[in-house]
Structure formats: C-alpha cells, structure tokens
C-alpha cells in the first residue's frame, strides 16, 4: 500500500465510488459525522467518537495520518482494529473494481475503513477528511452533521491560494439539509460557507454566533449553546485552543440530541473529558519534560507557542523539528524558536520533508545553538541524552516527525 504514495495526491470521487459500489456501498449502512478543516479535525473527531461510545453506541473513527501503526487510522470503539481486520479489508477492497485508474493510498485506505465499519455493523462513523473536502475521497458519505473546524492557507497547490477558495473546497462536504457547524473566523471564509449552506438549505451554526464558551480559571468552561447551557465542562486535551474545538463538539451533540440520538449530559461530560488524542500537546516524560506536538502549520505552531509560554515546566527548551516542504517553515521557526535555547533540525521519512540544511540558516539567525541530525531517531535520542532533568524537549513541526519520535522513544 505504501508504494502507492509514489503516485501522489489525486483528488476526485469517481474511483472511490467505483470501489464502494462493488463492495455494496457499506458507507450507507451506518450514520456518519463528517469533519473537515485546517486544524483540530482529529481532536474534534476523536471527542465525538468518545462521547458517542460513552453513550453506548458502537463507533467507527477514521482519521489520518497515523503516528506509529497504520491500524490507528481505523478504530472501532476508540481502539485500532487488529492486523487480521486490516488484511481482510485490504483483500476485499483490492478485489473490487476501481474504474479507469488504480486508487491512491488514501482512496484505498478510505475504502478499507468504510468496508470494515460496515462489516463490524457499527452505529456511527466519525470521518475526518484527508485534504479539502469537495473532492476528498471521504466525501462519498451522506452525513447527519458536517463540522468544519477552521480555515487557514494550506495545500494551496490543490485547494487554492485564498481563504475564500479553500473555504469553497472544504465547504464541499455540506450536503442538502444537513446541519453545518463551524469555527471559521475569517469574514470571506464565513461568507463562502454560508452561501454554500444556503444553496443546500443546510442549517448553519457558527462558533461565536450560534454558540460560545466562557473559560474558567480551573481549566473548565461553560458552554452557551444553541438551546442549552452546560457548566463545568472539561476537555481531555491540553491547550486553550482545545476549548474552542470542544465547543464545536458540544454543538454537534446538541444537534444529535435534537435528532433523537440519545446523549445524556453525563455521557457528554464524561466522553469529552476522557478523550485522548496522541501527538497533540502530549507530555510523555517529566524528567526531562518531553512534549510531542504535531503542529504542522503556522496556526498550530502559534497554539503550541502559547502553551509553552504559559507552562512553567518548560523553561529551557530544546526543539527537535522537521517540517514538510509545503509549509511556511520560516514563519513557523520565527514563531517558535525565540522560546527555545537549542534546536536540532531533522527530517522525517516522507518525500515531502524539507532537508534540514534549508532550515539551518533561518534557525541560526534566531538562536545560536543549532545543529543538524538528519535521522529522527538519532535526533530524539541526542536531545534526551544531552538534556538535564529540569530541561524540556519539544518535538514538533509535523505529525510524521512525531510518529517517528514516538517509535524512537518506544511509546
């Protein structure tokens, strides 16, 4: 399957339609929630899956990319499916006719997830888009709710060079009469999404308008919702931005309840607080502090920087970073490095990763202590060996980097 990556990214729905048609359209046998956006998709999707599972439903969760093992992409009741299930779903999908061309890696993976969910007779599937929305392979589903977390400039080669155009691509998941929940803040992005929703007669709920939150000092928050006020809510994920993500999740819960999916306030509270999502502000060691964060674009790096600046346990920071070539790497480094005393530049094993020597002159202008260790495992091990017990190591810049770091740390 990994060899298919050499064919790159091909957006479109004809191939996935052919595969799923020949599998009996398993995606039509369960209810779905579709999650798109630039940042926070996985956090939102995992929280919804956690709440639905806590409420007694059998849940499928499809996300990407994986950190360490492929199985992480396809979860049933918040557990990755075993190898035997991966093999069985691959063999079934591989036998199905795919039309005029062979499927890409992502198309094949998506079809496998939808097939496995059908075979497992789940009640609900929470589906995260891969890229964009309109032509993303996941956009073959007929969801009960669409969630569009937020929008920033990303994948411009495929999605367009403006917020408006990217909003149009992500808004392509909006279906006729299906409620839309969004955290998009830019006026032109909101305008595009509203226009699509109006055209599809889809109810439109925006964070800051239809619902909002008020933070408390003890890391809880009050949710002022569409029809409800829920107090003493808590996200299981660290970071101030996760409260915004939680607001979108709670709005989705309100709509699910309106549509007679039974979610008690206790199940909602418990599911939200028990949610875990690896590689996102994940502290895996305390002496020294080792923090993993898949922050892979400028918006995510700003959230990470805010967390580090407010956290008293991260005074002397060594940054281990590797960044993909379609990201604003100079701006990302300029945002994060001033908080760090040392930087180790590395390169995750993906063809889109930047050579560390391209990052070096930019980093060197910001802080003096910069070195290159191309292998991620060696870079992580060097950072740990050279850190004192009261130092902090931050590993960030790409989810692929975080995945290799977790392997190196044997997590």
pLDDT at 299: 92
Same domain, 140 and 256: yes
User: Total domain count for the chain?
Assistant: 2
Domain that holds residue 297: 282-408
Of the pLDDT bands very low, low, confident and very high (cuts 50, 70, 90), residue 54 is very high
Assess contact for 156 and 126: CB atoms under 8 A. Answer: no
* CA-CA-CA-CA torsion sign (310, 313, 316, 319): negative
pLDDT at 156: 64
pLDDT at 11 exceeding the cut of 90: no
Same domain, 346 and 198: no
Which of 348, 291, 293, 299 is closest to 324 using CA atoms?
Answer: 348
DSSP 8-state assignment for residue 371: E
pLDDT at 287: 85
pLDDT at 358 exceeding the cut of 60: yes
- The pLDDT tens digits for 186-201 are 999 999 999 999 999 9
What percentage of residues in the chain have a pLDDT greater than 90?
Answer: 85
- The pLDDT tens digits for 282-333 are 999 988 999 999 999 999 999 999 999 987 665 699 999 999 998 999 999 9
Query: For the range 241-246, what are the long-range contacts, defined as Cβ-Cβ under 8 Å and sequence gap of 24 or more?
Result: 241/39, 241/40, 241/303, 241/306, 242/40, 242/43, 243/213, 243/215, 244/40, 244/183, 244/207, 244/213, 245/40, 245/43, 245/44, 245/47, 245/149, 245/183, 246/47, 246/213, 246/221, 246/272
pLDDT at 25: 97
Burial class (CB in 10 A: 0-12, 13-18, 19+), 294: buried
Last residue of a domain, one of 274, 295, 322: 274
Of the pLDDT bands very low, low, confident and very high (cuts 50, 70, 90), residue 174 is very high
- Phi, psi dihedrals of residue 189, rounded to the nearest 5°: -70, -45
pLDDT at 310: 86
Least confident of 23-27, 153-157, 226-230: 153-157
- The pLDDT tens digits for 75-131 are 999 999 999 999 999 999 999 977 778 899 999 999 999 999 999 999 999 999 998
Assess contact for 338 and 302: CB atoms under 8 A. Answer: no
Same domain, 324 and 253: no
CA 143 to each of CA 175, 256, 360: distance values in angstroms, whole numbers, following the listed order: 8, 12, 45
pLDDT at 6: 59
Residue 369's domain is classified under what CATH number? 3.90.190.20
Residue 221's domain is classified under what CATH number? 3.40.1190.10
Least confident of 112-126, 146-160, 269-283, 363-377: 146-160
**DSSP β-ladder status, 282-286 and 204-206:** unpaired
Burial class (CB in 10 A: 0-12, 13-18, 19+), 260: exposed
Same domain, 310 and 169: no
pLDDT at 158 exceeding the cut of 70: no
Same domain, 201 and 267: yes
Of the pLDDT bands very low, low, confident and very high (cuts 50, 70, 90), residue 218 is confident
pLDDT at 315: 67
Q: What is the mean pLDDT of the segment spanning 159-177?
A: 92
pTM given for the model: 0.93
> What order do you get walking across the sheet with 342-345 strand by strand?
282-286, 289-293, 392-396, 317-321, 342-345, 370-372
Rounded CA-CA distance 393/406 in Å is 13
pLDDT at 182: 98
- DSSP secondary structure of 152-177: -S--HHHH-SSHHHHHHHHGGG--TT
pLDDT at 387 exceeding the cut of 80: yes
Same domain, 197 and 112: yes
Q: What is the mean pLDDT of the segment spanning 264-283?
A: 96
Last residue of a domain, one of 274, 298, 323: 274
Same domain, 189 and 302: no
Same domain, 188 and 321: no
- Within 8 A by CB and 6+ apart from 25, the residues are none
Same domain, 331 and 234: no
Same domain, 95 and 17: yes
Last residue of a domain, one of 274, 293, 319: 274
Q: What is the mean pLDDT of the segment spanning 165-171?
A: 94
Same domain, 350 and 394: yes
Same domain, 250 and 302: no
pLDDT at 8 exceeding the cut of 90: no
């Amino acid at each position: 399957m990994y060899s298919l990556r050499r064919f790159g990214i091909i957006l479109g729905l004809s191939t996935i339609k052919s595969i799923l048609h020949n599998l009996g359209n398993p995606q039509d046998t369960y209810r779905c929630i579709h999650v798109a956006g630039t940042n926070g998709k996985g956090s939102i999707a995992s929280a919804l899956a956690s709440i639905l599972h806590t409420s007694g439903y059998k849940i499928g969760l499809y996300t990407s990319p994986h950190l360490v093992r492929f199985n992480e992409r396809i979860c049933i009741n918040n557990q990755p499916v075993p190898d035997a299930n991966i093999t069985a779903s691959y063999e079934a999908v591989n036998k199905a006719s795919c039309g005029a061309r062979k499927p890409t890696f992502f198309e094949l993976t998506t079809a496998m997830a939808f097939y496995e969910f059908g075979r497992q007779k789940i009640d609900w599937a929470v589906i995260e888009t891969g890229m964009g929305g309109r032509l993303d392979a996941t956009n073959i589903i007929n969801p009960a709710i669409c969630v569009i977390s937020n929008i920033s400039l990303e994948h411009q080669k495929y999605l367009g060079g403006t917020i408006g155009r990217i909003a149009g691509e992500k808004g392509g998941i909006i279906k006729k009469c299906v409620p839309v929940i969004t955290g998009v803040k830019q006026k032109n992005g909101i305008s595009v999404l509203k226009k699509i929703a109006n055209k599809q007669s889809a109810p439109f709920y925006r964070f800051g308008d239809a619902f909002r939150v008020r933070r408390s000092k003890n890391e809880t928050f009050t949710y002022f919702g569409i029809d409800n006020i829920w107090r003493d809510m808590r996200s299981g994920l660290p970071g101030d931005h996760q409260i915004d993500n939680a607001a979108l999740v709670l709005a989705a819960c309100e709509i699910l309840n309106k549509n007679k999916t039974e979610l008690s306030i206790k199940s909602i509270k418990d599911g939200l607080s028990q949610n875990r999502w690896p590689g996102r502000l994940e502290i895996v060691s305390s002496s020294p502090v080792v923090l993993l964060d898949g922050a892979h674009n400028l918006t995510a790096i700003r959230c990470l920087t805010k967390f580090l600046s407010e956290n008293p346990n991260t005074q002397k920071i060594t940054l281990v970073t590797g960044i993909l070539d379609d990201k604003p790497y100079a701006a990302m480094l300029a945002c994060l490095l001033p908080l760090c005393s040392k930087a180790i530049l590395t390169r995750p094993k993906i063809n889109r990763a930047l050579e560390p020597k391209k990052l070096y002159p930019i980093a060197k202008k910001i802080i003096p202590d910069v070195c290159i260790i191309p292998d991620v495992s060696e870079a992580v091990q060097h950072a740990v060996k050279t850190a004192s017990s009261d130092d902090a190591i931050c590993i960030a810049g790409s989810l692929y980097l975080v995945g290799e770091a977790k392997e190196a740390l044997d997590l």
